[in-house]
């Protein structure tokens, strides 16, 4: 059985779309659940999107607080504890959707007092 040929224009289009999504995510503004921009506080969009809508969660990206984006949309920082050694600290970051209505925005602690940036 003969396999269908993959045409260069089709492959180019797929690569172009994926690169466009990465560039958009890298340049997107991050917002707290209350709508305030968090980009000036060194929040950066994660490469992982929980939905297919172009929005993503954001994690803190400045040293010494360089959080790792997790697949569930939360952010992880490994901290050293005198008695326990290195332990993970997990937070809900910000989101590229300023309304927080996207399914890509993790709703954990997104209302009430948790509407600020640093939520444990």
pLDDT at 15: 46
Contact yes or no for 54/85 (Cβ under 8 A): no
Entry pTM: 0.65
Tell me whether residue 50 is in a domain.
Answer: yes
Q: 85 is in which domain, residue-wise?
A: 8-115
Q: Is the peptide bond before 48 cis (omega within 30 degrees of 0)?
A: no
Give the per-residue pLDDT at 86: 79
Phi, psi of 109 (to 5 degrees): 55, 40
Number of domains in the chain: 1
pLDDT of residue 57: 94
In a domain, 60, yes or no: yes
pLDDT (0 to 100) of residue 39:
63
Tens digits of pLDDT across the chain (120 residues): 565 555 555 544 444 444 444 444 445 899 999 888 876 678 889 998 887 889 999 998 876 667 899 999 999 988 777 777 778 889 899 999 999 999 999 998 877 654 544 444
Per the structure block, which two tokens stand in for 95? 């989101």
């Amino acid at each position: 059985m003969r396999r269908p040929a993959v045409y260069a224009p089709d492959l180019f289009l797929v690569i172009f779309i994926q690169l466009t999504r990465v560039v958009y995510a890298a340049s997107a503004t991050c917002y707290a659940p209350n709508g305030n921009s968090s980009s000036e506080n060194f929040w950066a969009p994660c490469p992982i999107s929980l939905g297919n809508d172009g929005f993503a969660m954001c994690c803190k990206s400045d040293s010494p607080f360089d959080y790792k984006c997790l697949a569930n949309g939360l952010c992880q920082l490994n901290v050293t504890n005198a008695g326990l050694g290195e332990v993970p600290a997990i937070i809900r970051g910000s989101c590229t959707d300023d309304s927080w209505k996207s399914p890509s925005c993790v709703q954990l602690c997104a209302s009430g007092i948790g509407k600020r940036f640093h939520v444990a």
